[in-house]
Amino acid sequence: MNWTTNLPLIAILRGIRPEEVEEHVGALIEAGFDAIEIPLNSPEWARSIASMLTTFGHKALIGAGTVLEPEQVDQLAAMNSKLVVTPNTDVAVIQRAVGKGMTVAAGCATASEAFAALKAGAQALKIFPSSAFGPDYIKALKAVLPADVPVFAVGGITPENLHAFLAAGCVGAGLGSDLYRPGQPVSRTAEQARAFVAAYKEAVQ
């Protein structure tokens, strides 16, 4: 299975507003990010995602996180969104998204959930909340998963601990509040983006 971006770090812009999204996404792309997730519990998420697809869709895999219902998948597909990230293992959501040709990173915590997500067609797995489980748990889980399945650590990932999750077998990570918090200046997003990219490159060199 292939993850379709050059840098396996997913920027999670939870809580971002339509009027500020372009500046932040622009800063992320400039730092090297090419996977952007706007969670559906963000204000006016449809406006933000649609505008980012228009502006940056040719440069990055852009889509939605916290996708909970098949109907939300339909709405995203109608705007040509390519990425669906779920917080849980919902077979109906995964199957709907895969059926529409979208890239799915399915949230899971156990081996049973991971295999259910893969059986439904998910191309990648998101272990959440990773910081609560720790790298050793993910390493043990990876031992029973197919070797070619991309596993992302999500939840509590920082530039300082990213290397430990990569060493445990994760291909990359989803980056939330340590990368972006609602209301923070674009300069902070750019600074953290550069820190994460540097940490990733140092860990995999």
Positions annotated as catalytic residues are: 37, 126
Alpha-carbon Rg for the chain, nearest whole angstrom, is 16
Burial class (CB in 10 A: 0-12, 13-18, 19+), 136: exposed
In angstroms, the CA 129 to CA 58 distance is: 31
What is the CA angle 5-8-10, rounded to 5? 95
Token duo for residue 10 = 């997913």
Q: Which stretches does DSSP call E strand in the chain? A: 9-12, 35-39, 61-65, 83-85, 103-108, 124-127, 151-154, 172-175
- Angle between helix axes 18-31 and 186-204 (nearest 10 degrees) is 30
Neighbours of 43 (CB within 10 A): 12
